[in-house]
């Protein structure tokens, strides 16, 4: 019997996706070979590769103004690739809402980029999304849409004339979004859309043009990926295969609007338990900025009970609930593949635990 996996990433995969991958691991569609063994230059893998890109574009409803790039290195490599490819010698502006934006700022500074932090919620331990405006003439404006550690999420994206770059790693493919103001949306796929080792980026073509005449190593250059359909070198073939299965699964669920409806319901179940616990539990994020993906909270009644909570949850078939080492506490990551039934079981455990220890 599979446990209920509330890990922040790599995270739970849909049972249907795992079973299909299992069926094809040894013999892919009766062809006598594994999908992991097949050449990335052959027709079989190319069908998987291009179908994955097509489905990703269909889910978000993006037009041909954007290229979908599949790259190794996860989102962390993008922290360096973005300034390499998109910095034009002006200023790059950041809204600092946690660890992942801090890492992106650090990588840009290593490369000698002129960075400006326009807003930060660091003084209050990143418990909210600050109010701010980007300037109209930055080389790019950068945000992280959802913070896995602190449990905050943008409810709407800032409007700016500067190209908007969004790290959407932890709420990737969780809801439909308006791309009209977005120059680049990217993320590691291991939370909501696949397994670790792969980054997916929707990059507007005028942004890719910035990299064409730059002196950047080929494997770090967006124009090289675009010109070669992300097949310049041997890609992460199995990760792309799993990404393909996840895209198919999302479409079969009814698409991102349907997925978002479920995500709203799931988050409400847990936040209602926290808010109705008479102070036993305390959420970290301000209510208006709470994440639908990562519910971070403490046992305010007695923090010494937190490891007990995690241990007893594991004994009840629920893993991955220990909070990040930076923040501590408890964190339930309720990505797309975590169904409402599993969230309800966690909520009942939370209620029973509070009754027992209050």
Query: Catalytic residues, which ones?
Result: 100, 167, 191
**Is 313 labelled as part of a ligand binding site?**
no
**Does 76 show up as a binding residue in the annotation?**
yes
Contacts of 355 (CB under 8 A, 6+ apart): none
User: Is 75 labelled as part of a ligand binding site?
Assistant: yes
Q: Where are the alpha helices (DSSP H) in 278-319?
A: 306-315
d(CA 311, CA 321): 9
- 15 in a labelled binding site: no
Query: Is 52 part of any known ligand binding site?
Result: no
CA separation for the pair 270, 321 (Å, rounded): 13
Residue 174 annotated as binding site: no
| 153 marked ligand binding residue | no
331 is in an annotated binding site: no
Distance from C-alpha of 101 to C-alpha of 92, rounded to nearest angstrom: 13
Instruction: Say if CB 200 and CB 70 are below 8 A apart.
Output: yes
> In sequence order, which residues have a C-beta less than 8 Å from that of residue 134 and are 6 or more positions away?
93, 95, 118, 141, 158, 160, 162, 164
DSSP-assigned states of every residue in 253-283: TT-HHHHHHHHHHHHHHHHHHHHTSTTSEEE
Is 289 marked as binding a ligand? Answer: no
Paired sense of beta strands 294-299 and 281-283, if any: antiparallel
For 103, phi then psi, to 5°, come to -65, -40
Q: How many CB atoms lie within 10 A of CB 233?
A: 12
Q: Which helix (H) or strand (E) holds 187?
A: strand 182-188
Task: List residues forming the annotated binding site for pyridoxal 5'-phosphate.
Answer: 75-76, 100, 148, 167, 190, 233-234
Task: List residues forming the annotated binding site for L-glutamate.
Answer: 41
Task: List residues forming the annotated binding site.
Answer: 41, 75-76, 100, 148, 167, 190, 233-234
């Amino acid at each position: 019997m599979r446990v209920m996996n509330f890990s922040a990433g790599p995270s739970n995969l849909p049972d249907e996706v795992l079973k299909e991958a299992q069926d094809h691991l040894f013999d892919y569609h009766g062809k006598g070979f594994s999908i992991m063994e097949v050449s990335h230059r052959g027709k079989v893998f190319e069908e998987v590769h291009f179908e994955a890109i097509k489905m990703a574009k269909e889910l978000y409803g993006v037009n041909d103004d954007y290229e979908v790039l599949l790259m190794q290195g996860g989102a962390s490599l993008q922290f360096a690739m973005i300034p390499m490819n998109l910095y034009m010698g002006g200023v790059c502006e950041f809204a600092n809402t946690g660890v992942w934006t801090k890492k992106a700022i650090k990588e840009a500074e290593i490369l000698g980029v002129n960075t400006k932090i326009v807003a930060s919620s660091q003084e209050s331990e990143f418990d909210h999304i600050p109010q701010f405006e980007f300037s109209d003439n930055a080389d790019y404006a950068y945000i992280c849409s959802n913070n896995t550690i602190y449990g905050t999420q943008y409810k709407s994206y800032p409007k700016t004339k500067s190209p908007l770059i969004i790290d959407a790693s932890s709420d990737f493919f969780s809801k439909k979004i308006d791309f009209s103001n977005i120059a680049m949306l990217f993320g590691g796929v291991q939370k909501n859309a696949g397994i670790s080792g792969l980054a997916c980026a929707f990059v507007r073509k005028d942004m890719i043009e910035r990299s064409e005449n730059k002196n950047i190593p080929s494997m770090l250059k967006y124009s090289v990926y675009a010109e070669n359909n992300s097949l310049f070198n041997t890609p992460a073939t199995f990760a792309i295969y799993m990404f393909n299965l996840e895209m198919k699964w999302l479409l079969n669920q009814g698409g991102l609007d349907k997925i978002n409806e479920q995500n709203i319901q799931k988050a409400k179940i847990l936040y209602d338990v926290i808010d109705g616990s008479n102070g036993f539990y305390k959420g970290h994020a301000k209510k208006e900025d709470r994440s639908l993906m990562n519910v971070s909270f403490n046992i305010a009644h007695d923090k010494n009970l937190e490891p007990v909570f995690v241990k007893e949850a594991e004994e009840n078939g629920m893993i991955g609930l220990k909070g990040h080492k930076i923040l501590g506490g408890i964190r339930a990551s309720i990505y797309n593949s975590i169904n409402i039934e599993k969230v309800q079981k966690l909520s009942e455990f939370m209620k029973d635990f509070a009754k027992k220890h209050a």
